[in-house]
């Protein structure tokens, strides 16, 4: 009887977890699309006068011309605005759900001496990661080049700063921590795999080969978070990875 009650409680907690995770993801998507739409409309009204605009992810259609999201400054500006707002909204939602200080709960704490060895591990991991990409001749870059300094600036600000912080708060900070509480330490591997699969497929706009590498990147970030309890390590590694990615796109 006790085991059945325990299983039901776990199921309810899991449903609540994925419901809240889905809600945060949905709000983020709505924010991003809304801000992108408003910014584009403002520019097109100024430049075009009369226009037709529709979304065909990962492209948008302007007057019968398909344009990649990656190739317009407004996409990165909308990322910055949406990510900034979602960081605060996510922290508020986490605080309401777990009824604890969200900063402490997700692991945004000061560094300890034992954390610094993981910085070394991270450097080694990125080095091996880069060498594998080089020797396999894999290139995950979108098929475009940045057209101006505004685009480059907002690309760095969004993809190398706000987006990594937001993703780590939601995936490794909230989702992983909550799953580990529900499943327990004996099933940590299951928690890591679930988070990493979801994280990889949240980047579905990349080629399938890229999703494999993103999955293993997530596994490393999850292990580092569980071993240290410090989310800043994962945030920093994620930022460095994205910073290098944007740099090589230029």
- Per-residue pLDDT tens for 116-172? 999 899 989 888 888 887 777 766 665 555 666 777 788 888 888 999 999 999 999
pTM of the shown model? 0.88
Hey, which of 73-77, 85-89, 200-204, 246-250 has the most confident mean pLDDT? 85-89
Query: Which residues span the domain enclosing 175?
Result: 2-249
Structure tokens at 188: 């940590």
Proportion of the chain above pLDDT 90, given as a percent: 36
**169 neighbors 90 (Cβ within 8 angstroms):** yes
User: pLDDT-derived band of residue 54, with 50, 70 and 90 as boundaries?
Assistant: low
* Residue 55: DSSP 8-state: E
| Residues 9-13: contacts with CB under 8 Å, at least 24 apart | 10/182, 10/183, 13/178, 13/182
User: In terms of Cα–Cα distance, which of 170, 169, 190 is closest to 179?
Assistant: 190
**6/246 Cα distance (integer angstroms):** 46
List b or e across 204-220, with b for residues whose CB sees 16 or more CB atoms inside 10 angstroms: eeeeeebbebbbebbbb
**176 neighbors 168 (Cβ within 8 angstroms):** no
User: pLDDT-derived band of residue 36, with 50, 70 and 90 as boundaries?
Assistant: confident
pLDDT of residue 78 exceeding 70: yes
Number of domains the chain contains: 1
Average model confidence (pLDDT) across the chain: 83
H/E element holding 233?
helix 231-249
Proportion of the chain above pLDDT 70, given as a percent: 83
Tens of pLDDT, residue by residue over 82-108, are 999 999 999 999 999 989 999 999 999
Which position has the token pair 């007057």? 63
pLDDT recorded at residue 217: 93
Whether cis (ω within 30° of 0) applies to the bond prior to 233 is no
pLDDT recorded at residue 57: 59
């Amino acid at each position: 009887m006790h085991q059945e009650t325990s299983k039901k409680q776990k199921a309810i907690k899991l449903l609540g977890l994925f419901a809240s995770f889905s809600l945060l993801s949905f709000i983020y998507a709505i924010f991003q699309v809304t801000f992108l739409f408003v910014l584009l409309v403002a520019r097109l009204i100024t430049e075009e006068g009369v226009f037709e605009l529709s979304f065909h992810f990962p492209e948008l259609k302007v007057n019968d011309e398909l344009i990649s999201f990656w190739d317009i400054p407004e996409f990165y500006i909308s990322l910055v605005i949406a990510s900034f707002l979602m960081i605060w909204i996510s922290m508020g939602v986490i605080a309401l759900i777990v009824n604890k200080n969200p900063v402490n709960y997700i692991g945004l704490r000061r560094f300890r001496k034992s954390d610094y060895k993981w910085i070394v591990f991270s450097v080694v991991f990125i080095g091996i990661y880069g060498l594998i990409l080089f020797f396999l001749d894999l290139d995950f870059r979108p098929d475009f080049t940045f057209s101006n300094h505004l685009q480059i600036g907002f690309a760095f600000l969004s993809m190398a700063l706000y987006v990594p912080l937001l993703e780590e708060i939601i995936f490794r900070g909230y989702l992983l921590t909550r799953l580990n509480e529900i499943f327990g330490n004996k099933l940590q591997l299951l928690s890591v795999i679930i988070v990493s699969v979801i994280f990889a497929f949240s980047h579905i706009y990349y080629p399938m080969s890229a999703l494999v590498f993103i999955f293993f990147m997530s596994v490393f970030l999850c292990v580092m978070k569980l071993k240290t309890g410090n989310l800043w390590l994962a945030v920093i590694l994620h930022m460095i990875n994205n910073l290098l990615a944007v740099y090589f796109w230029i």
